[in-house]
A = this chain, B = another copy of it.
Amino acid sequence: MDPSLLRALVVGGTGYTGSEVVRLLLDHRRIGALAATSERQVGRPLRESCPWLATDLVLESFDPERVDVDVVFLCQSNGFAMRHAPRLLERTRVVDLSADFRLRDPSLYPIWYGFEHACPDLSPSPVYGLPELGDKAEIGKARLVANPGCYVTASLLALVPLQNAGLIDGIPIIDAKSGVSGAGRSKAETEFLLAELDGGMKAYGLAGHRHTPEIEQELGRPVRFTPHLLPFARGIHATIHVPLRPGLTDEDVRATWRAQYDGAPFVTVRESGFPSTKEALGSNRCVLAAAYDARTGLATLVSVLDNLVKGAAGQAVQNMNLMFGFGETEGLTAHGVWP
């Protein structure tokens, strides 16, 4: 193998985020060797569980003591990464797609996730991996990148530039809608059956969703976050209602976005009209749009992305590209699949 190529391991390769990382890495020119683990399918070809991936890759078991790769993608449930990170980091670099290292304040985990943080003092500190809003050099040096989630990425890309520019004058209300792949693949409960969900939509988690503290941590102000379940597989549509400071309009919003995202390959600011979530399907793009209602002083922001790409696996690969000095768009140039 060309020594300039990476060896990568995807832990949890048959779930929706894990198999999406595999999908992207199979076509990534800087990956020289790729492996994936599974709890229940060890020794079986990945394509048995994931027949859309035309590969002969055979699933392995996960043994943190024997990992010998350049980068590991952790695509397991919350609570897994915090148990294995310390030993893994002795041997490799890590992109964690769970929530385990997203909150800087460990005391928030019992409140929002229901368990104590098993690894509150990881050293060196995890780096929050939202490249368009963070410090790319810091991501480049990180040992462990905490990859933000889909709702949070959509919300922050719309709100943080406005917050930094001082445009916001009140509590942002994030009315967010998600395709059902966000619930994961192993969650075979009645409520996620096609027959239950097809042809309808509903709200959930209105009492308080665990993505709220993550948004507030990165945004620096309180928000009201309400999620909904849409009857299709992929896509986040965040509609954000935000009071603007007097005298501002949607053109100020777009100008602020344009300044922030000038040269950013994965964020598109729409000058007119509103995007469908499908524009981003299969791609690493986030599309932003805004309208201002003079009658109420509210701006309505729209932010759409594919929850499994820019909201998970694509952003993870983007972080990997930064960690290893590759071009930021390497392996991520696919356009949306439409219709």
A→B interface (CB under 8 Å): 16, 19, 23, 26-27, 50-55, 171, 173, 175, 177, 179-181, 183, 185-190, 192-204, 206-208, 222-224, 226, 228, 230-235, 237, 239, 241, 268, 270, 273-283, 285, 287, 289, 291, 293, 295-296, 298, 300, 302, 304, 333-339
Contacts and interface: CB of A to CB of B under 8 A. Distances in A.
A235 to B, nearest CB: 6
A66 to B, nearest CB: 28
B199 A199 contact: yes
Contacts of A226: 239, 241, 300
Contacts of A304: 202
7 A-B pairs closest in CB distance:
A52-B336, A200-B278, A206-B291, A195-B339, A202-B276, A175-B175, A233-B339
Given A206-B291, A295-B222, A334 B27 contact: yes
28 contacts: A16-B195, A19-B338, A23-B337, A51-B273, A51-B287, A52-B278, A52-B337, A54-B285, A54-B336, A171-B296, A175-B239, A175-B241, A179-B195, A192-B194, A192-B195, A198-B232, A199-B199, A200-B232, A200-B235, A200-B277, A202-B274, A202-B275, A206-B302, A224-B241, A224-B295, A226-B241, A230-B231, A281-B337
Nearest to A306: B337
Given A199-B232, A231-B231, A283-B52, A194 B171 contact: no
A27 B335 contact: yes
Nearest to A278: B200
A70 to B, nearest CB: 22
A176 to B, nearest CB: 10
Nearest to A293: B224
B194 A54 contact: no
A257 to B, nearest CB: 16
B237 A201 contact: yes
Given A19-B338, A26-B335, 7 more contacts: A51-B279, A180-B198, A181-B339, A194-B231, A198-B232, A202-B237, A224-B300
A94 B302 CA distance: 41
Contacts of A50: 338
A287 B206 CA distance: 16
A204 B274 contact: yes
Given A26-B335, A175-B239, A51 B224 contact: no
Given A241-B173, A335-B53, A180 B201 contact: no
Contacts of A187: 193
